[in-house]
Structure 1
Amino acid sequence: MTQSVLRAGRRALWRHPVQLLLAVAGVALGVAVVIGMDLANQSAGTAMRQSMEAVTGRITHQIFGGPEGLPEALYVKLRTRLGVQQAAPVLAGGVTLAAAGNRPLTLLGIDPIVDAPLRGASAVPQQGEGEQGILQDLLLDPGSVVLPAEEAQRLGVVAGGTVTVQVGGQQRRLHVVAVAEDSDHDLSGYAFADIATAQEVLGRIGRLSRIDLILGNADAVNRVRAALPPGIVLVPAAARANAMQQMRAAFQINLTAFSLLALVIGLFLVFNTMSFMVVQRRRMIGILRAVGATRRQILAQVLSDAALIGLLGTAFGVLLGLVLGVGLVDLVGRSSTHSSFHEAIMRFQIEPFSLAKGFLLGIVGSMLAAVPPAFEAATVPPRAAMDRSELERQAHRGARWAAGFGGVALLAGGVILVASSGLIAAFTGLFAVILGASLLAPLASARLTTAMARLVPQRPIARLVLRGVAASLSRTGVAIAALAVAISAVIGVAVMIDSFRGSFIVWLQQSLRADFYIATTQEGGTVDDALAKRIESLPGVAYITRSRHYRLPSADGFTAIWALGLERRGWQSFDIRAGDREAAWLAFRSGRGVLISEPYAYKHGLQVGETLALRTALGERTFRVAGIFRDYGSPYGVVLIYRPAYQRLFADDRLSGLGVYLSAGSERGAVHQRLEAAVAGLAGVRVRDTQSIREHSVAVFDQEFVITSVLRLLAAMVAFVGVVGALMALQLDRSRELAVLRAIGFTRIQLGGLITAQSGVLGLAAGLFSVPMGLLLAWLLVFVINHRAFGWSMEFTISPMPLLEGVGLAIGAALLAALYPAWRAARTLPARGLREE
């Protein structure tokens, strides 16, 4: 008997190949979305981790100085007087490649003999014929470098060739003594030279950027720290890794949100698909029960069919997920401006855990999704199983229960969001809110269509259309919930991006008040006060602002310092979010107070009036927080200090850039030409128009969120598959009802129009419900997720376009999904549908 019951289930699947295909497609799409998003997320994390490991290697500590770096004599002291043998000097500086459109390149000066044991690898070839010759050339030839294979290929040079770089306004020809293999692409963007060569090329004789160390125990750490002169700090390598880890987390935060939404949508797809399959065969199950099939056999039939659909769907979903993951990785890679990270992420990472998650969702999720309806069908009496009205009464009772659970889930999600402060808890609360709102969708749609039907009492066709949606809640309820979740994700993310984009553009307009900006791409480049004075004396220039960016090392990472020579007339460009504007200005100008950005305040728990300590060239100094300003330039935050105070405390007169303000009535094009002439010949120095900076910044912003276009496409696919499956099941189950309508005079066009109209109402109900659900999701993304991830504040902007697009997408997907069911119903002969009457 068991084999007969199982064969009946298989035959039921093969008799409806279109529905079988839709069921498999539903599972496959859910699996593909989760795997694709997860693989993109994993690839981004792996790329960031590889970049981090390439920097730190096996080192445990690093020594940093002030803005001028370290004296070379300190390295000699460590090795000779203190006996620290596992130490390596490093000098890093920016150069530009003259033959590659002035593309920036980092020249890294190392000691090739002592560097490899610390880092676990070396840029200098350590094996092969000619090794001693390479080391000899690198150590003795002042113009020799080693290029990674990727950089050499990009420049079209081989070992023995030359490259021309620009630094300090001068061109230098460097001899490529070797090309280093770089199978992991960790060395992209670097050129390697002996420390003495790097000092000579960069114009930093006797100076180092840092010293890398391996210190075995706390005594060694304390001994080295005690021997350091004032102004020089010993930093655990984990501190720098921590900073990069924060960058990795910041980069992945949006992908994490998308992955969570994808998981929710995928679960709904699986549940939607399996519920339709079970509900559709209730009549067959009733007949089998009537002829002697046991409950256990019915359960085995449904679960085995669910396993078969889950297996087929998972197999196709894994393949589709890999293709989707490649595309998403490409989008994520394009959004990164860091060349080495871009190269690393483009090496697609297939994680077994992601594939296992997809298999778990597809196979186990399919079977679990089939358990509730299968259990209900197996336990219901045979006569009730064949009674459609009983099924719908149970569906309405289930919708009320689901709404009750949805309210509890909403309340629980709200409590989690209010009572917690972490990002993981925020995602948990977000998940609970989405789940709760989706559970409310079936009952809300039934009440909505019933209320709409009361508004058209004199129009029987309209009432038939509207009542049909509510009367078939066993079919339409889950489809509306799945469609509402998909559309709400589109609306929520679109509103969040609109809010972020609007706030970002306003911030750009407030921050970029100068007419032109002059900056250098090189650390310690050729922008200085002498150039500033020449620029200020040019005709048409009213005044300029001077700025300097410096990363101050500390025991827990790095603090971004922004020293700004700000005048009173430029003060209005700062959006002060906390603190009195006038008092903040006076404290800032006096040098006793600093301004901090919102991310810095959030990550360090600082408020206006509190103090922070910074290590300066004169020792540690304490500053009062005079104000907190809005800034989207860095997710880690910056400390803004008045430049004269910075020069005095940090003994650093260098500049990173100039802001040029034009006098009234000056001709913009002519001033631009004078500025270009003033910086001609200075390596890495660029004059940029404010408008071009804004356009470029907005373009980068849009590129960062281009992945949301993929989310919209996936939502449309979710909507189509979910709704077409519901309509197909509904049309098959209503064959006698539709045959009666044909028999009493409905034409094929009218019957097709009826089905299409009911589908449109279904889409409208889901679209209307998705609007408040999407706005709630957007509010959580703006004020909870993004704030806890970055510390940013945004203005919540609601424009009608994303809302209209969401409702239109829901209706459009439903209407498109109705085409085939309407065509099939119109072609069915009435006699065939009435055969059993």
Structure 2
Amino acid sequence: MALSNSAMRRVSLRNIGSHKLRLALTVIAVVLGTAFISGAFMFTKALSSTFDNAVATSFDGVDVVLGPGEGQPGIPLSEVDTLRADDKIGAVNIHNNTTVAVGDAEGNALQAGGTSSIHVWYPEGESVGADEPLVEGNAPEGPDQVVINEAAAEEYGLSPGDQLTVVDPQSRAELEVAGVYTTDVDGASNTAAPLLGMAEGGFIERYTDGQTISQVVLSAPGDGSADALLTHVEQTYPQYTADTGEKLAEQMSEQISEALKFVNYFLVAFGLIGLLVGTFLIANTFSMIVAQRTKEFALLRALGASRRQITVSVVFEALVVGLLGSAVGVLAGMGLVAAIKAVLAATGNELPASGLGLSWQAVLIPIVLGTVVTVISAWTPAQRAGQVQPVEAMRSTEAATSTPLTARTIFGAVLAAVGVGAAVWGAFNEDWSANTRAILVGVGLFGVIVGFFFAGPALSIPVVPSLGRVIGLPFGSIGRLAATNSRRNPRRVATTAFALTLGIALVTAIGMLGQTMKASMADFYEDNVRSDFVLSGPTSGQFPLPAETVEDARGVDGVASLGEIYMLPMLVDGQTPQPGSPMGEAVEGDLTEALPLELEEVAPGEDKAEAARTEGKEGFYATPSLAAERGWQVGESYALTGPTGGRTVEAPLLGTFDGTGPMIMPVIATKTTAEQFAAPDTMRLYQVAVNKTEGKDADELRAGLEEAVKPLLVVQVLDSKDMAEEMGGAVDAMLNILYGLLALAVIIAVLGIVNTLTLNVIERRQEIGMLRAVGTQRRQVRTMIILEAVAIAVFGALVGIIIGLGLGWAFLRVLAEEGLDTIVVPWGLIGWMLAGSAVVGVLAALWPASRAARTAPLDAIAED
């Protein structure tokens, strides 16, 4: 009599309930992968909600935002009085702010998460939009007083009457704290970064050109609507741009969401890596479970279950496990986001009004993905379960017969060879574009990884026992027995090691990329920084050097010459200096000493050394390729213009130059020329190159420079080595984030080893019982299991390192044209990973080994 489908489903559910231990770790693998994906969606949503709320609340009460029209540098200050006299407009506020660096009275920087700024502050009831009511002190007056946000005042112990050093891109000032304010914009005052407010008149005097402002916000009078006010403003002041605050808030929210998509994609990618590694763990688990349940399936076949019903029953179990693990993963994702928010709050970067970021994507996508991955992983073991014959119910053991490895080994070896060939081809074929070569290397990597998956069992047969003998040498006969055991099931060994191989390969490749980037940057700065020292601003690039830097440095004893490097937007002959970007450069001093370049063509009869000196000259320099593309001739004059309402000046092309690097733009104007067409607030000091006088001690000059620029708060004194180390620190920070995310894959791999060893112990219960019966001590059983795990882990790590080094080398060959031409092998990282893999093996084996050691001899050798 055939069994019904409902009966088979009951069998599957009872099997899940009665074998909680062997499925628990599989559920955990699903949980880890889906938790990361769910957490990624939730965290991105929480970030977006925080920004959206801040934007929306900051525009509450703002009916219309007025900005300069096309080609205008700003709104004339005289227009503010006109707007205030308009009886169809309620309140008018100047909406300007400037990025600043803030220090205490002694000149020590007040540094915290976030960027410090100073804005126009209005008393409560006079502001358009969110009020900033005082909680202590008085309103600021004039250009020498400010109010400070409450969180920063608490963080740094500031109160009314205290003095602050405030540095902006143009100057440095000593300002008094008049009062402390809070805000009704939810979360805006929670940052510990100093956010200063100054009275309107004082701000105009100190932080504007005295002629124009960048933006004005308006409110409607009485019960007037925003739309009516917008219509009036558009009709009465058509020379300006205008829009409602609500619409601008929506546009800003859309821009924020678009920017945060990268964060989401980045985090989801690592979640998918975790699920990929988990796939092999799940497949391995179900393979072992099927092998252990051979008699059970045979009995079901004898009772009338069809092959299809057996296969479907295993798939059904996988479906239940996938749904359960994915659902728990969503809950774990919520916990992950809550933990991240708690850490951010503890470090002064709270995400207020964000919630946990729950959305349908954060719930549905991880559940679907986790379930599908689990079912796919269990499909092959389920097919194998359906092939069990009823006669196998009479076997005395549950050991499944292994099929030969020949076919899969040949297929895997061929696939790996093709992958290696594709990667090498992509690495050396310099006739193709970098993108095409990178794709070819990626295809090659895929071939190598899949090839190893198929050929891994055959490779493990000679390698793992050999590793086991070396590792087990100090342990005598137990070590030899562990090495022998590791050879018995090569499929299981290879599949268990494969998860660790993937994680180690990615870590190795990324480590190689990071070390190469650091070495290449060190070479670049050593070869290209020609000055003795460089005065530079913060690494983030958010704040330029104060204009006072030049004069402060010039007054230091031992300074022979300075090279000033400015960044500014410009148009040359009506076109941007580079496609899609108006950014160009200006230099004061010797061009070839300030920047790593050489002049190629100069005006006929002019000496190159003299042509490189820019002091007092009018003109500009360009790359030969840009000059040829635009038809510019050395000695001929062309129009240089500020891109927004700037002035225009005719200046000659002084020469063409050859040089590349992050500090070199395609067009470089002289400072004298730039000052004629650029608005002062658009010309930002980027670096100052300092050369010492002959015989001056470098350390003494550094000390003098550091003392001179200390009051400016943001200026660093660096030599070429310092610059390389600073950039290397940024690379290390990026790598640490990647390593932390890749740790997920390694954790899942560790669970895979735990899972495999646990099921292995269950499967070998009789064997372990016999060992105990003939006198093997519990300690020796534990040692045997641990040695097997260490051999498997080291095997997986070795293969991962080899694949990772090959991947890293191939990609770095492709990126050689981008300046990464000093390939470095991270030997230290490799050593730590090998040692770590042995530790991973030990830790993963502790619980299974302890379980094996507790096996009772008489119970183990008894027939089931």
TM-score bin, normalised by smaller chain:
0.7 to 0.9
Correspondence for 1:264 among 269, 272, 276? 276
Could you say which residue in structure 2 is the equivalent of 1:565?
588
Corresponding residue SS for 2:188: coil
Letter in 1 for 2:506: A
CA distance in 1, matches of 2:272, 2:63: 35
Tell whether 2:227 aligns with 1:201. Answer: no
Q: Which residues of structure 1 form unaligned runs of 5+?
A: 228-235, 597-605
Decide whether aligned partners of structure 1 residues 607 and 733 sit closer, same or farther in structure 2, where only a CA change above 3 A counts.
farther
Letter in 2 for 1:25: I
Superposition pairs of residues 773-784 of structure 1, within 5 angstroms: 773-778=803-808
Letter in 1 for 2:511: A
Could you say which residue in structure 2 is the equivalent of 1:285?
297
CA distance in 2, matches of 1:558, 1:238: 26
> Following TM superposition, by how much is the alpha carbon of 1:328 offset from its aligned partner in structure 2, in angstroms?
5.7
Corresponding residue SS for 1:494: helix
Corresponding residue SS for 1:298: helix
Decide whether aligned partners of structure 1 residues 274 and 40 sit closer, same or farther in structure 2, where only a CA change above 3 A counts.
farther
> Following TM superposition, by how much is the alpha carbon of 1:19 offset from its aligned partner in structure 2, in angstroms?
2.5
Decide whether aligned partners of structure 1 residues 410 and 816 sit closer, same or farther in structure 2, where only a CA change above 3 A counts.
same
> Following TM superposition, by how much is the alpha carbon of 1:242 offset from its aligned partner in structure 2, in angstroms?
11
Could you say which residue in structure 1 is the equivalent of 2:221?
none
- Which string of whole-angstrom CA distances, capped at 9 and with x for unpartnered residues, describes residues 598-622 of structure 1? xxxxxxxx98954599743454999
Letter in 2 for 1:450: I
Superposition pairs of residues 441-590 of structure 1, within 5 angstroms: 441-452=452-463, 469=486, 471-509=488-526, 514-518=531-535, 527-528=547-548, 532=550, 535-536=553-554, 538-550=556-568, 559-565=582-588, 567=590, 570=593, 574=596, 582=600
Contact 1:27/1:273 (CA < 8 Å) preserved in 2? Answer: no
Correspondence for 1:309 among 306, 321, 332? 321
Tell whether 2:212 aligns with 1:185. Answer: no
- Which string of whole-angstrom CA distances, capped at 9 and with x for unpartnered residues, describes residues 713-764 of structure 1? 4344222210121122233334455567778897777766654444344223
- Which string of whole-angstrom CA distances, capped at 9 and with x for unpartnered residues, describes residues 123-174 of structure 1? 567xx99xxxx9xx89x9777867555456556679x988756464442336
Deviates most, 49-58 or 661-670: 49-58
Contact 1:87/1:114 (CA < 8 Å) preserved in 2? Answer: no
Decide whether aligned partners of structure 1 residues 730 and 551 sit closer, same or farther in structure 2, where only a CA change above 3 A counts.
farther
Contact 1:595/1:627 (CA < 8 Å) preserved in 2? Answer: yes
Could you say which residue in structure 2 is the equivalent of 1:392?
402
Report the TM-score, using the length of structure 2 for normalisation. Answer: 0.70
Contact 1:549/1:563 (CA < 8 Å) preserved in 2? Answer: yes
Contact 1:108/1:193 (CA < 8 Å) preserved in 2? Answer: yes
Corresponding residue SS for 1:629: coil
Correspondence for 2:660 among 607, 629, 648? 629
CA distance in 1, matches of 2:390, 2:263: 56
> Following TM superposition, by how much is the alpha carbon of 1:393 offset from its aligned partner in structure 2, in angstroms?
0.7
Tell whether 2:119 aligns with 1:108. Answer: yes
Letter in 1 for 2:31: A
> Following TM superposition, by how much is the alpha carbon of 1:806 offset from its aligned partner in structure 2, in angstroms?
3.4
CA distance in 2, matches of 1:324, 1:484: 26
- Which string of whole-angstrom CA distances, capped at 9 and with x for unpartnered residues, describes residues 159-211 of structure 1? x9887564644423364496322214289554445643311233632233467
Contact 1:19/1:725 (CA < 8 Å) preserved in 2? Answer: yes
Correspondence for 1:377 among 385, 390, 393? 385
Contact 1:111/1:195 (CA < 8 Å) preserved in 2? Answer: yes
Correspondence for 1:688 among 692, 695, 717? 717
Corresponding residue SS for 2:823: coil
Corresponding residue SS for 2:117: strand
Contact 1:97/1:165 (CA < 8 Å) preserved in 2? Answer: yes
Decide whether aligned partners of structure 1 residues 326 and 780 sit closer, same or farther in structure 2, where only a CA change above 3 A counts.
farther
Corresponding residue SS for 1:392: coil
| Number of aligned residue pairs | 787
CA distance in 1, matches of 2:49, 2:322: 30
Could you say which residue in structure 1 is the equivalent of 2:357?
350
Contact 2:103/2:109 (CA < 8 Å) preserved in 1? Answer: yes
Correspondence for 1:440 among 428, 451, 454? 451
Q: Which residues of structure 2 form unaligned runs of 5+?
A: 219-226, 242-247, 471-476, 603-607, 633-638
CA distance in 2, matches of 1:800, 1:173: 54
Tell whether 2:674 aligns with 1:646. Answer: yes
CA distance in 2, matches of 1:205, 1:84: 24
Contact 1:487/1:809 (CA < 8 Å) preserved in 2? Answer: no
Letter in 2 for 1:547: I
Correspondence for 1:727 among 739, 753, 757? 757
CA distance in 1, matches of 2:629, 2:345: 40
CA distance in 2, matches of 1:333, 1:363: 34
Could you say which residue in structure 2 is the equivalent of 1:767?
797
- Which string of whole-angstrom CA distances, capped at 9 and with x for unpartnered residues, describes residues 636-668 of structure 1? x89655545534553758745533332343245
Letter in 2 for 1:570: E
- Which string of whole-angstrom CA distances, capped at 9 and with x for unpartnered residues, describes residues 380-434 of structure 1? 43346979776521787667667788889999999999999999x9999998766
Could you say which residue in structure 2 is the equivalent of 1:799?
826
Decide whether aligned partners of structure 1 residues 449 and 106 sit closer, same or farther in structure 2, where only a CA change above 3 A counts.
closer
CA distance in 2, matches of 1:198, 1:105: 16
Please tell me the root mean square deviation across aligned C-alpha atoms, in Å: 6.1
CA distance in 1, matches of 2:13, 2:251: 60
CA distance in 2, matches of 1:781, 1:184: 44
Could you say which residue in structure 2 is the equivalent of 1:814?
841
Corresponding residue SS for 2:402: helix
Decide whether aligned partners of structure 1 residues 55 and 494 sit closer, same or farther in structure 2, where only a CA change above 3 A counts.
farther
Deviates most, 374-383 or 40-49: 40-49
CA distance in 1, matches of 2:273, 2:650: 46
Could you say which residue in structure 2 is the equivalent of 1:599?
none
CA distance in 1, matches of 2:109, 2:213: 25
Letter in 1 for 2:740: V
- Which string of whole-angstrom CA distances, capped at 9 and with x for unpartnered residues, describes residues 569-589 of structure 1? 636x63x7xxx8756999987
Deviates most, 197-206 or 380-389: 380-389
Report the TM-score, using the length of structure 1 for normalisation. Answer: 0.72
Correspondence for 2:367 among 356, 359, 374? 359
Letter in 2 for 1:707: I
Decide whether aligned partners of structure 1 residues 444 and 156 sit closer, same or farther in structure 2, where only a CA change above 3 A counts.
same
CA distance in 1, matches of 2:535, 2:697: 18
Superposition pairs of residues 743-758 of structure 1, within 5 angstroms: 755-758=785-788
Corresponding residue SS for 1:393: coil
CA distance in 1, matches of 2:419, 2:531: 51
- Which of the two has greater helix per residue? 1
Letter in 1 for 2:207: L
Contact 2:415/2:447 (CA < 8 Å) preserved in 1? Answer: yes
